[in-house]
């Protein structure tokens, strides 16, 4: 009876712990309802002792069921005993500042670390042109950022799909420099792109930029080796440009050198050429492929890659440190070279 009472009481503790979500509450209702239903369906021929043991066993099993379901809410970075007793994570560092109106953001940011949901994080918000939130934090001293330094507010942060904005801006810079028109067909500059596919011959640059090229996936898997070899070609290609940052976001007459006499045959370009259209004339999110296609196109119109365009024509004039690709693609030996001079992203 003691163990049965203990296990029956544990869901109440877990319920209090998990009131912020309805899912555990539904789990406990389901588990207890199931326990009562099964206990009532037990044969009346059972002895009182066996009936009592079976009922208590069902209660224990229902409690364990709820416990397992509630564990899905637990952060993997928080010890079980600390999580069960409602404790908070320790040993983390949170620094930065917010304006008075956004102090609740700071509390929510810190709470993520207290509950063990974060290892290293940065959060910066500009509201109507004014910086109102600038926070960073890490768990202890074992979390390393870029260049193997302790993670802090200046560590480079991966930005994922927001890079598509920079890809589009790179294409816009090339367009303003007269390298192509958005309605031009890609095969005009990259004949191998179609590879015999009549539908791909009609694909325009605008189709790619608005996710309507029908190439949301490639037929062949892109490997790490493909990226490494393509990156080598990007570095070699960019080395032919004497590109000095301009004071504005774009320039109609950039210092472009003659087209480099190198073979443009990167593994990624080959896999783009070998891919067939999946959804022609339909807008499907080109989550992985869009940037690769635009990057290969820029090289074929004698324009620096997306990485060098972002660095030289966008990031440096704005005084921020933003890299697309590795540092060597922008002519940097280290990814963080010049960080102090360029300021934070």
Q: At residue 183, does pLDDT exceed 80?
A: yes
Considering the domain architecture, whether residues 143 and 194 belong to the same structural domain is answered as no
The last residue of one of the domains, among 135, 157, 179, is: 157
Q: Domain for residue 83, yes or no?
A: no
167 lies in the same domain as 311: yes
CA distance 137 to 125: 15
**Mean pLDDT computed over 334-341:** 42
Q: What is the pTM of this model?
A: 0.67
Q: Determine the pLDDT at residue 169.
A: 95
Strands, E assignment, 68-213 = 92-98, 120-127, 130-139
What pLDDT is attached to residue 237?
A: 87
Note whether 236 and 272 are same-domain residues.
yes
| Predicted local confidence at residue 150, as pLDDT | 84
Judge whether 304 lies within some domain.
Answer: yes
Residue 132 — very low, low, confident or very high, per pLDDT cuts 50/70/90? very high
Whether residues 49 and 145 fall in one domain: no
Q: Evaluate whether residue 270 is within a structural domain.
A: yes
Last residue of a domain, one of 134, 157, 180: 157
Looking at the predicted structure, is the pLDDT value of residue 188 above 70? yes
Q: Point out the domain boundary residue: 157, 183, 200.
A: 157
pLDDT band at 339 (very low <50, low <70, confident <90, very high): very low
In a domain, 48, yes or no: yes
Same domain, 132 and 150: yes
Nearest to 58 by CA among 72, 42, 44: 42
Task: Provide the mean pLDDT of the chain.
Answer: 76
More confident site: 277 or 22: 277
Number of domains in the chain: 3
In angstroms, rounded to a whole number, what is the distance separating the alpha carbons of residues 246 and 287? 31
Give residue 328's domain range.
161-342
Task: Name which residue leads in pLDDT, 264 or 79.
Answer: 264
Residues 143 and 180 both lie in one domain: no
User: Average pLDDT, stretch 64-92?
Assistant: 61
Between 199 and 146, whose confidence is greater?
Answer: 199
pLDDT tens digits, residue range 18-61? Answer: 444 444 555 556 666 666 666 666 666 666 767 667 766 766 66
Residue 84 placed within a domain: no
Spatial distance between the Cα atoms of 312 and 150, rounded to a whole number of angstroms: 28
Same domain, 216 and 130: no
Q: Is residue 87 part of a domain?
A: no
Which of 120-129, 149-158, 218-227 shows the lowest mean pLDDT across its residues?
Answer: 149-158
Q: Are residues 24 and 137 in the same domain?
A: no
Q: Does residue 245 share a domain with residue 267?
A: yes
Q: How far apart are CA 155 and CA 161, in angstroms?
A: 19
**CA torsion through residues 210, 214, 220, 221, sign:** positive
Report if residue 80 sits inside a domain. Answer: no
Does 4 score more than 60 pLDDT? no
Q: What is the mean pLDDT of residues 340-345?
A: 32
Mean pLDDT of 98-116: 91
What is the mean pLDDT of the segment spanning 197-213?
93
| Whole-angstrom distance, CA of residue 220 vs CA of residue 318 | 38
| 179 shares a domain with 325 | yes
Residues 269 and 317 in one domain: yes
Q: Which residue has the higher pLDDT, 318 or 47?
A: 318
Query: What is residue 246's predicted lDDT score, i.e. its pLDDT?
Result: 47
Please tell me the predicted confidence (pLDDT) of residue 29: 61
The reply to whether 81 falls in a domain is: no
Residue 343's nearest CA partner among 134, 129, 40, 121 is 134
* 304 CB-near residues (< 8 Å, 6+ apart): 237, 238, 241, 243, 298, 312
Examine the domain organization and report whether 173 and 148 are in the same domain.
no
| Predicted confidence band of residue 62 (pLDDT cuts 50, 70, 90) | low
């Amino acid at each position: 009876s003691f163990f049965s009472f203990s296990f029956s009481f544990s869901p109440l503790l877990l319920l209090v712990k998990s009131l912020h979500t309805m899912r555990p509450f539904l789990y406990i209702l389901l588990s207890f309802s199931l326990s009562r239903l099964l206990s009532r369906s037990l044969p009346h021929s059972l002895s009182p002792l066996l009936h009592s043991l079976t009922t208590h066993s069902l209660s224990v099993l229902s409690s364990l069921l709820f416990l397992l379901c509630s564990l899905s809410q637990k952060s993997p970075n928080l010890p079980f005993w600390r999580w069960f007793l409602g404790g908070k994570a320790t040993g983390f560092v949170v620094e930065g500042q917010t304006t008075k109106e956004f102090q609740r953001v700071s509390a929510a940011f810190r709470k993520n670390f207290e509950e063990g949901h974060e290892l290293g994080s940065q959060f910066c918000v500009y509201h109507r042109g004014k910086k109102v939130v600038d926070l960073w934090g890490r768990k202890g001293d074992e979390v390393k950022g870029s260049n193997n330094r302790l993670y802090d507010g200046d560590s480079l942060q991966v930005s994922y799909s927001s890079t598509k904005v920079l890809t589009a801006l790179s294409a816009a810079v090339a367009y303003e420099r007269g390298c192509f028109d958005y309605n031009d067909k890609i095969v005009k500059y990259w004949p191998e792109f179609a590879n015999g596919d009549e539908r791909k011959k009609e694909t325009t640059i605008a189709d790619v930029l608005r996710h309507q090229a029908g190439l949301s996936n490639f037929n062949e898997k892109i490997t790490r080796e493909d990226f490494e070899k393509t990156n080598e070609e990007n570095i070699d290609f960019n080395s032919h440009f004497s590109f000095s940052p301009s004071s504005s976001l774009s320039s109609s007459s950039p210092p472009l050198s003659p087209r480099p006499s190198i073979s443009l045959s990167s593994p990624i370009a080959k896999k783009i050429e070998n891919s067939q259209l999946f959804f022609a004339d339909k807008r499907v999110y080109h989550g992985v492929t869009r940037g690769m296609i635009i990057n290969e196109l820029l090289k074929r119109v004698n324009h620096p890659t997306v990485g060098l365009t972002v660095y030289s024509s966008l990031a440096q004039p704005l005084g921020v440190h933003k890299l697309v690709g590795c540092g060597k693609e922008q002519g940097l030996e280290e990814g963080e070279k010049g960080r102090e001079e360029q300021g934070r992203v």
